[in-house]
Structure 1
Amino acid sequence: MIAALLLTVLLAVLAVFQVALILGAPIGHFAWGGQHQVLPTRLRVGSAVSILIYAVIALAAFDRAGQVDVFPGAFSAVTMWVVFAYFVLGIGMNAISRSKPERYTMAPLCLVLSVLSFLVARL
């Protein structure tokens, strides 16, 4: 349960970050390859989709931890393993970013998210 809660808290922080990007905050060097200070419309849409994905991940984590019953059968178990793989991939993708701020913040954050999602997936 603690891992699911920590995972959700970090996803909520990321959601706030994505909202800031959507609203035009000049922090784009931390996201989407770091090529834009202020995101263009297509990447703002991507940030909005990211927030929806974070919400599904949080629901799956709490479902897997037995705190809610939202998804049928083994859906949350499979989903959390997919989420784990997604965050492991995110470590590599952020680590090779041309943007130093993205490399030095998002790669370690993905590492933490991957460990937490692994712990939730193993429940």
Structure 2
Amino acid sequence: MKAVSGAILNNILQAGLKERFSPEIISRLTSSALSLPDLELSDEDKRLVLAVYARGLNIVFISFSILTVIMFMASLGLRDYGLGQKVQLSQGEVHSGQVVDIDRPLGDGLNEQDGEDRDDT
């Protein structure tokens, strides 16, 4: 997610500063906001850079807020089965590529050592 936020912020800075500054200065500003005091910029230019940074961070925050809501909504459809709980399957439901007999609990008839079906006959 860090790469995504960096790409969003970098694109906002490039778009907002390209008409006023040279590519070298923009490159220094996009690599680190801490380089702003080292550059000999007027107060007006510094305010512009800070405003573009603020707009970029605002867009990153809004983007991640929207993604968080989408991921939360998607997680509501997940079902927790727990670690030791047996799964109740409806008749004919496919489990691991095979049709499961709902009258036989999962795990019965399996050899725990090699994972193959036992032949108890």
Q: TM-score, normalised by structure 2?
A: 0.31
Q: Which has the higher contact order (CA 8 A, sep 6+)?
A: 1
Structure 1 or 2, whichever has the larger Rg, is 2
- Would you tell me which structure has more helix in proportion to its own residues? 1
Q: TM-score, normalised by structure 1?
A: 0.30
